[in-house]
Amino acid sequence: MINLSGILFALKAHAPAILTIGGTVTMLGGAVIGVKQTLTVDEILNEYSDNVKKIEDAHNGLLDTSRPYTEEEYKKDKWIQRRKTGWGLIKHYALPAGMLIVGTGMVLKGHGMNTNRIIGLGAALTAKEASEKHLVDGVISEFGKEAYDKIRNGLIEVTDVEDVVDEETGEYTTKKETSIVPGSSAIDDCDIWFSENTCETFRPGQLLVNVNFLKRVQSDQTSRLTLRKDGIVSELDVARAIGYVPMTKEEKQKMIVRGWNRNDPESDHFIDLGIIDRSTGEPFPWINNRADGYPLRFNSTYLYKKAGK
């Protein structure tokens, strides 16, 4: 079955390139046809010259006419010949001229769409960077740089307390041991919160069903990344595959500039949603303790490095 929505989405995504290429081809075709038409324009001009010569000869009495050739008839006949020749030239060059006009319009439209997209991407990146800076500054100011690093890297600090008995004295002492482990902190640094309220595909209380669904999305989108001609899958593509619902215009702008690029050596060539331990294929331990939803952290990068830096 033909995926019409996918075709329309691809056409919309590549519209600037399609318009620019199509417009350039149309302009070149118009130029070629115009040159070809110029080779036969002499027929129209020669006919005009012959008719004008006859009119001039009649006006100067060089032609034998049955009645006098008046000045009014002379001016009228010359005007008729000019109009006839002009209209003939317009029809002769109508096709190449129309192709040049249409082609130029297509190129300008494609250039305008591309410019608007670049401006939009730049604005989205600027807003994202400003938002991230505001968050970072706020966390560092409130909790300190060390705490922010732990939050940013998805780590939490765990302190184990144990009562130990001294065998010689029989006294109890408290032993504390602090360690850093992977976990989900109070401030979840996630790209999408996968829950009943945010994703229409989420199944409450069915961890295995949800995990298997996310595994399938990872696999399908990685295959798509491999098969797509441009080698690019955006976070917006993945969000739609997950069934993420509350996408505002700002969220879409942020997601469309991040993703995975098969041709970028700095980008992973697989899609990871941050819920599966790739070494075991099982959910991370802190996922098992969540009933309300799971934070998804994408292994994505900026798709447009120049705009993002």
Nearest-angstrom CA–CA distance, 196 and 33? 61
Of 207 and 98, which is predicted with more confidence? 98
User: Is 117 a member of any domain?
Assistant: no
Nearest-angstrom CA–CA distance, 265 and 200? 34
User: pLDDT by residue (tens digit) across 116-172?
Assistant: 877 876 776 676 566 566 656 765 676 666 655 655 554 445 555 566 667 777 776
Of 86 and 155, which is predicted with more confidence? 86
Percentage, residues of the chain above pLDDT 90: 10
Across the chain, mean pLDDT equals 77
172 and 102 in a common domain: no
User: pLDDT by residue (tens digit) across 160-171?
Assistant: 556 666 777 777
Task: Tally the domains of the chain.
Answer: 3
User: Is 30 a member of any domain?
Assistant: yes
106 and 198 in a common domain: no
User: Is 162 a member of any domain?
Assistant: yes
167 and 90 in a common domain: no
Last residue of a domain, one of 93, 111, 129: 111
User: Is 168 a member of any domain?
Assistant: yes
89 and 154 in a common domain: no
Nearest to 294 by CA among 282, 286, 305: 286
Q: What pLDDT is stored for residue 181 in this prediction?
A: 47
Categorize the per-residue pLDDT at 194 as very low, low, confident or very high, splitting at 50, 70 and 90. Answer: confident
Of 202 and 175, which is predicted with more confidence? 202
159 and 244 in a common domain: no
Nearest-angstrom CA–CA distance, 9 and 302? 21
* Average pLDDT of span 92-108: 90
Angstrom distances, CA of residue 73 to CA of 63, 67, 68, 85, 302: 15, 12, 10, 18, 77
Of 106 and 250, which is predicted with more confidence? 106
* Tokens read off for 181: 């482990």
239 and 163 in a common domain: no
User: pLDDT by residue (tens digit) across 22-60?
Assistant: 889 999 998 999 888 888 888 888 888 888 888 888 777
* Average pLDDT of span 107-122: 82
User: Is 143 a member of any domain?
Assistant: no
Last residue of a domain, one of 163, 182, 201: 182
User: Is 41 a member of any domain?
Assistant: yes
95 and 160 in a common domain: no
Nearest-angstrom CA–CA distance, 284 and 278? 9
Residues of the domain holding 299: 192-308
222 and 153 in a common domain: no
242 and 155 in a common domain: no
Nearest-angstrom CA–CA distance, 8 and 216? 25
Q: What pLDDT is stored for residue 220 in this prediction?
A: 92
